[in-house]
Structure 1
Amino acid sequence: MKIAVIGGGSSYTPELIEGFILRSDQLKINEIVLVDIEAGKEKLEIVGALAKRMIEKSQLPIKITLTLDRIQAITNADFVLTQFRVGGLDARASDERIPLEYNVIGQETTGPGGFAKALRTIPVILDICKEIEEYSNDAWLINFTNPAGMVTEAVHKYTSVKAIGLCNVPINMKQMAATILDVERNDVNMSFAGLNHLVYAISVHVNGEDSMDRLLGRIIEGRNMNMKNIHDAPWEEEFLKALKVLPCPYHRYYYMKDEMLLEEMEAANEKGTRAEQVKVIEKELFKTYKNPSLNVKPKELEERGGSLYSEAAVSLITSIVTNDNRIHTVNVINNGAISQLPDDVAVEVTCVVNHEGAKPLQVGKLPPEINGLIQQVKAFEQLTIEAAVTGNKQKALLALVNSPFVPSSKVAKQILKDIIEANKDYLPQFS
């Protein structure tokens, strides 16, 4: 089996390599090809050298290949994993700072920040898919590149590639729920429904017993359920009791706009946006990676975020390869899973995964408590995808107007102008 990793110079790659090593009894991998662009060559070489040391320590017969030739990486691959960032962390910092100038939340994957990232990313992923169609047309695309839901939807709408979008939020929510409830993760069953970074746990069971109220109660008492990259604002007791389902950590940006915006603005002024903080973390990480005696995933990687990404990705691939029909929460095409959404849009839902891919479990009709927000954000996503593919500025404007973060069409127009100007090197479709 051949695995191609696009964005192989990412700081996340050692986590991925560790996952393949741990699953070596089920995944018989001959070669892992790490591919990046010229600008990422130094990072690719550093990460690649660490990956080779990790494989050597494991004594597995896996060849690690480093290349800047994407077609070489994709040719005859069984799985293509995408984890790249167009424009790097500098572009992300711009995505975070531009909205803040208009008192609007600036976040990497949601709202105007996620919109800008989608405009840069979707044309590139579609180019990659053309290469998959030509050089490895039976390969599975496992996409971790954000915004994962919009990227997955674009791939399905505009290509014939078999694609599944992956996010580490659901698996982390399950792990955190187990910790909060003082049980093992395997004892917890959670059903998820919604969109990427806007997903809800709509049921929680521990060994078959409904445990949603118990979990919400412990969170209200102060037990933490959050990701490292998100400000840990506590949920309002009355709100969680009224909602009756478990929001994901990213919901703070929608349900606590004032508090999250204030925190972002203070952080931007004092210690930098999240992207600017990550640049410092990554600089130290790559120094660590250079250590010739290092042959395991370093603990410092936990500070980068992306917790359990490897487990989510490798277990998903394992289910496809071994046909084990295990349950995963992934981004797939709706096909009626959520009845209020169109069939051809991407949703993040609980699925059964086997040789044929991910089949969504039926959710049915979402309750009105969560349906309205999901409908609005899905409209934003659909318009963003169309704008990214066509370069239509009217669609782009309307996408921002539909974002729950943007207060008016006037502000949307100003933000759009700034985003296009800041990203002109990456947005030829708008020129």
Structure 2
Amino acid sequence: MSFKICIIGAGSVGFTKKLCSDILKVPEFTGIEIALTDINAHNLDMIRQIIERMVEVNGLPAKVTATTDRREALKGARYVMNCVRIGGLEAFETDISIPLKYGVDQCVGDTICAGGIMYGQRGIAAMLEFCRDINELAEENALLLNYANPMVMMTWAAIDHGNVRTVGLCHGVQNGHRQIATALGAKGPEEVDIICSGINHQTWYLDIRYKGRRIDRDELVAALEAHPVFSVQEKVRIDVLKRFGVYSTESNGHLSEYLPWYRKRPDEITNWISLDEWIHGETGGYLRYCTENRNWFEEDFPKFLEEANAPLDGPRTDEHASWILEALETGRVYRGHFNVKNNGVIRNLPDDCIIESPGFVDRFGINMVEGIELPLAAAATCQASVDVQRMAVRAAMTGDVDLLKQAVLHDPLVGAVCTPDEVWQMVDEMLVAQAEWLPQYADAIPAAKERLKDPKVKTRDWAGAARLGVRSVDELRAARAEKDKSADEGHGLGTKVMG
């Protein structure tokens, strides 16, 4: 087969390596072109060397190109993968630090909450440029596979306003699937069947079958609470499971910031989180993780380059991308969980929202399983986020500052912590701090600066309830060595499942 795949944001070396390795393992795809593009020329060159080495060592006729010119990379592409983080760590830091001044303690800040909403404003502005170029330069009816967060907002904008055929992809369902299988004592996730549905990062395991036997809430609660790792790391998820009757795909830290109950009182946050790994609730945990690992591109590059010398004969990962492309091109059916327009798939969520739900892929496209109904508590939680997402997408499209502030005001955690005056001032502060990535708000930034000269509310210098310091490269190296040792001794189970 001969077609072109463009990866935007390919400078995320480890993730791009995984995606390309999976794609090159599809037997029919050996003659494709992979076009890598990123604004970071150094990282782009590293990933180019790795993918070229894979192709050379395995004697594949595939073509690898790399350019910082996105439009050049998109020419003639049948598939486009979006893996960008607009604003990088500089903008991400303000997604976390400014809300903390107003009492909003986030672990990740990439989905909703104050940080996720502003991340969406930056991302949507860029997404529209990507879509314009795709429509102009890529193959007709090209498919955009969006991996970038905030998943719902980015996918929603691409479909409704970018007019590009788009599917959003996330690995939260797979991670939780592996965790459930481990808790139940299964040999692997292949022994456990699931139906999972909702919206991205608030998707729910509606039906779990272990060797064909249905697992109810009480059995799953017992299994998770009996597990020496999950019982410590997943207190929020287990509590929600007990109250809602269904388990969430998302880790403790992710889930805790999408709800109004677990992070609103600083003195109680530590009751619900675990600090053994960032993803389980640490204040600004994902920012710390990304900051620490920024320099590990250099550390990991020789290892990745050496690994690229190995034959491509191992199994593929469970990232959706290669399996979707294989199904579309060969007709071999693939079942997964995809982010698409609802259009009646989930009966008790709005038709216009972006859902994450089961579907099957073949030559005819992505075919969703219709007629799903969420438990009322799960649906109510999703609906609150959908309303925030809808407002945030429309604000990003119009540059409407009032609507943006209304979206943040209605966010579940922000609303549990902040007054309206605090929300209005916080958003002004974030707009000013992130102005260079927010072209749609250019005309509104001067007024926001003026308002901040006479602030209505006092802020505080607060690091959050559970902030950990950024480790040096030497400290990271020692920690990784200890982690590898623990894994070898059989004690790294929880980290491996969610890593």
Q: TM-score, normalised by structure 2?
A: 0.76
2:381 corresponds, among 373, 382, 401, to 373
2:167 corresponds, among 164, 168, 175, to 164
Letter in 2 for 1:366: L
Q: Does the CA-based 8 Å contact 1:222-1:234 persist in structure 2?
A: no
- 1:178: which partner in 2? 181
1:155 corresponds, among 151, 154, 158, to 158
- 2:225: which partner in 1? 220
Per the TM alignment, residue 310 of structure 1 is displaced from its structure 2 partner at its CA by 6.3
Per the TM alignment, residue 109 of structure 1 is displaced from its structure 2 partner at its CA by 2.5
The answer on 1:279 being equivalent to 2:291 is yes
- 2:116: which partner in 1? 114
- 2:439: which partner in 1? 428
- 2:202: which partner in 1? 198
CA pair 173-424 structure 1, distance change in 2 beyond 3 A: same
CA pair 293-160 structure 1, distance change in 2 beyond 3 A: closer
- Structure with larger Rg: 2
Please tell me the root mean square deviation across aligned C-alpha atoms, in Å.
2.8
Structure 2, unmatched stretches of 5+, are 311-315, 443-499
Distance 2:246 2:413 in 1: 22
Alignment partner of 1:349: what SS?
A: strand
- 2:32: which partner in 1? 30
Alignment partner of 2:436: what SS?
A: coil
Distance 2:237 2:385 in 1: 23
- 1:256: which partner in 2? 262
Distance 1:188 1:7 in 2: 34
- 1:58: which partner in 2? 58
Per the TM alignment, residue 287 of structure 1 is displaced from its structure 2 partner at its CA by 2.7
Show CA shifts across 1:318-357 (max 9, x none): 2222233321101000010122222122111111222333
Q: What percentage of residue pairs aligned between the two structures are identical?
A: 26
Letter in 1 for 2:363: H
Per the TM alignment, residue 30 of structure 1 is displaced from its structure 2 partner at its CA by 1.8
Distance 2:38 2:238 in 1: 46
Letter in 2 for 1:409: P
Per the TM alignment, residue 110 of structure 1 is displaced from its structure 2 partner at its CA by 2.8
Q: Does the CA-based 8 Å contact 2:199-2:354 persist in structure 1?
A: yes
2:215 corresponds, among 202, 211, 227, to 211
- 1:418: which partner in 2? 429
Show CA shifts across 1:246-298 (max 9, x none): 11223232253255589699x8xx99753233222231233321469523399
Segment of structure 1 superposing worse, 249-258 or 130-139 = 249-258
Structure 1, unmatched stretches of 5+, are 299-307
CA pair 377-236 structure 1, distance change in 2 beyond 3 A: closer
1:326 corresponds, among 319, 334, 339, to 334
Q: Does the CA-based 8 Å contact 2:117-2:392 persist in structure 1?
A: yes
CA pair 108-264 structure 1, distance change in 2 beyond 3 A: farther
Alignment partner of 1:66: what SS?
A: strand
Q: Does the CA-based 8 Å contact 2:89-2:291 persist in structure 1?
A: yes
Show CA shifts across 1:153-175 (max 9, x none): 11111133111000010111112
Q: Does the CA-based 8 Å contact 1:140-1:161 persist in structure 2?
A: yes
Q: Does the CA-based 8 Å contact 1:18-1:297 persist in structure 2?
A: no
Show CA shifts across 1:3-39 (max 9, x none): 1000011132111122123x321434421110012xx
- 1:304: which partner in 2? none
CA pair 334-78 structure 1, distance change in 2 beyond 3 A: same
- 2:446: which partner in 1? none
Aligned residues: 413
